[in-house]
Amino acid sequence: MATQSKGSTSNGTSPKAKAQSSEKNQARAVAESAVDLPVGAVLTVTERITDLVEPFTDRSGAEKQLKSYRTQLRKQVKRTERRGTSARRRATTEARKTRNRVEREARKRQRTVETTLKRNRNELEQRVRKAVDLLPV
C-alpha cells in the first residue's frame, strides 16, 4: 500500500498547483471575454449595415424598398388618422353627454326655484291680504 505525502492529493498535484491552474483559467476566460465582446459588436454592426445598404445596391431594389417604405408610411398615417378620428368622436360624444346632463340638472333646479318662488309669493300675498283685511277702516 502506497502512502501519500501530507501536501499531495490523490492525482499527484499539489493544492498550490491547482490554485495556479485555476487562476490561469480565470485569466484566460477574462482575456477571451475582453476580445470576444468587441469582435461580436463589430460583427453585429456589420450585419446591420449590410441589411440597411443591401436593398439599395441596385436601382430596382432601391425603388422596391422605397415603394415599401411609402406603403408602410401611408398605412401608418391612415392608422394614426383613424385613431385620432375615433378619439375626437369619443371626446365629442362625452362632451355632448356632459352638456346634456348639466343642462338637464340646470333646468331641474330652475323649475325647483321657480316653484318655490311662486309658492312663497302666493303665501306672502295671502298674508298681506289677511293683514289688510284685519286693519280697521
Read off the DSSP letter of residue 9.
-
pLDDT band at 1 (very low <50, low <70, confident <90, very high): very low
Q: What is the pTM of this model?
A: 0.46
Residue with cell 470576444: 36
| Nine cell digits for residue 46 | 456589420
Q: Under the phi-then-psi rule, with left for phi > 0, alpha for psi from -120 to 50, and beta for the rest, what region is 53?
A: alpha
Residue type (1 letter), 56: F
Mind listing the pLDDT tens digit for each residue in 45-72? 988 888 877 777 788 888 888 899 999 9
Task: Using alpha carbons, select from 67, 75, 68 the residue that is nearest to residue 83.
Answer: 75
